[in-house]
């Protein structure tokens, strides 16, 4: 597991790092913006990737004035764009491999 994706911060520490309240993080989980890992004792654990995502959410809402529904749409579209880019890269690699074999 990469270090960035390793669950390591309990909710109180994550909230402190982000400068927000724990109830805000619980609410984001409830509406589906974030899905933190859970320990064996069912404690929420956030990774560095989770914190970066939450920071983007905070920036969209506080700095750009996007409401929570808008944030959800933006996050979903960002995920779809990333998936499409990955597919495009894979197809380009395959095309390069195929055309390279014919030369």
Residue 3's pLDDT is 81
Residue-wise pLDDT for 1-38, tens only, equals: 588 889 999 999 999 999 999 999 999 999 889 999 99
Residue 102's pLDDT is 65
Residue-wise pLDDT for 35-89, tens only, equals: 999 999 999 999 999 999 999 999 999 999 999 999 989 989 998 999 999 999 9
Whole-Å CA distances, 82 to 21, 29, 68, 69, 75 = 29, 22, 21, 20, 11
Q: Average pLDDT, whole number, for the chain?
A: 92
Tally the domains of the chain.
1
Domain containing 16: what range? 3-102
The CATH number that applies at residue 87 is 1.10.1660.10
């Amino acid at each position: 597991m990469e270090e960035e994706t390793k669950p390591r911060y309990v909710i109180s520490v994550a909230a402190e790092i982000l400068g927000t309240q724990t109830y805000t993080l619980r609410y984001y989980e409830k509406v589906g913006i974030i899905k933190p890992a859970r320990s064996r004792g069912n404690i929420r654990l956030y990774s560095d990737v989770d914190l970066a995502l939450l920071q983007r959410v905070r920036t969209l809402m506080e700095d750009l004035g996007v409401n929570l529904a808008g944030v959800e749409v933006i996050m979903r579209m960002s995920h779809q764009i990333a998936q499409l880019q990955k597919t495009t890269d894979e197809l380009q690699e395959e095309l390069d491999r195929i055309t390279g074999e014919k030369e």
